[in-house]
Amino acid sequence: VTRFAPSPTGYLHLGHIANAVWTWGLAQAAGGRVLLRIEDHDRGRCRPEFERAILDDLDWLGLTPDPESRLSLEARPSPYRQSDNGALYGDTLRLLRARVQIFACRCSRKEIAARLAEDGLADWDELRYPGSCRSLGLTEGPGSGIRMMVEEETVEFTDLRLGAQRQRPALQCGDLLLRDTTGSWTYQFCVTVDDWRSGVNLVIRGEDLLPSTGRQLLLGRRLGRATPPAFLHHPLIRAPGGGKLSKRDGATGVRELRAAGRRPEDVLGQAAYLTGLLPEPRPVAAAELGSLFG
């Protein structure tokens, strides 16, 4: 059981399609199922028209999610959406409180960056939370976020493509933000809860998310998930300048490719080629994606 989990903060572009090619392809090759999950946890950035466009583009590409599992928690006449899951996240947080130390935090990203700069740690890869509110005993409420204390620990796992990995979440991100100061549940929290509750046992996503895996495994363990999912991080498609492909790279948007007369199999084949699954571009229909992994 794997999943395709787009955020409706923009239209689908070739980067998403690369992820879809790996996800549906591996699922087909293994006789697995693909759940569709709309990751709209960040209430400020998501828009319903993006969700509609994503569903329409997937349909056009012939990428069909598993019809039953997409509503695996309860029957709903719409895709599995994180914004419908507030009660589940609230219950899960209650469960977590009994197992780990949770604390309120009022720090903004700007304050965290300033504190890191003061401590000479500003060049750290990520914005590592320096523990400012850890022992302040702040009350939870509007304007405060919620963090889980993360102690120093090495998390080991084997990526199905990249091999053995060792990560130290306490040094990478520090105490994990579960809910932000605006009241939105965070990506790390939602993804870990959803993957667990939907029975996802293989997570397929781009290499940019590799650093998130250790902390998601750690959180899953604290939640009591007995068997963690397997992980496969695939290559990313690079933008023309070599950087990460973004929604601003209009020429790679599925909408634009459709408007330019490209066929679904051309778009899928292009994404497969650009992530190393084909030696040169050729059309690949959605139903043939499994053959790329034979």
In angstroms, what CA-CA distances link 22 with 44, 148, 172, 240, 251? 29, 32, 27, 22, 21
Q: Which is nearer to ligand GLU, 35 or 268 (CB)?
A: 35
Give, as ranges, the residues between 199 and 218 that touch ligand GLU (CB under 6 A): 205, 209
Start-to-end CA span in the chain (Å): 18
Query: Please, what is the minimum distance in Å from the beta carbon of residue 168 to ligand GLU?
Result: 20
Instruction: Establish if 5 lies at the interface with ligand GLU (CB under 6 A).
Output: yes
Q: Which is nearer to ligand GLU, 46 or 267 (CB)?
A: 46
Neighbours of 258 (CB within 10 A): 16
Q: How many residues does the chain have?
A: 294
**Does position 230 bind ligand GLU by CB under 6 A?**
no
Say whether residue 7 binds ligand GLU (CB under 6 A): yes
- Nearest CA to 231 among 248, 216, 221? 216
Annotate each residue in 25-64 with x if it binds ligand GLU (CB under 6 A) or - if it does not, as one string.
Answer: --------------x-------------------------
Name which of 43 and 282 has its Cβ closer to ligand GLU: 43
| Cβ-based nearer residue to ligand GLU, 34 or 105 | 34
Q: Which residue's CB is nearer to ligand GLU, number 8 or number 103?
A: 8
Per CB under 6 A, contacts with ligand GLU among 173-192 are 191
| Rounded CA separation 242/234 (Å) | 17
Give CA separation, 34 vs 26, 51, 82, 229, 279, in Å.
10, 18, 17, 14, 26
CA distance 218 to 286: 35
What is the smallest separation between the CB atom of 35 and ligand GLU, expressed in angstroms? 11
Name the residues that contact ligand GLU, by CB under 6 A: 5-7, 39, 191, 205, 209
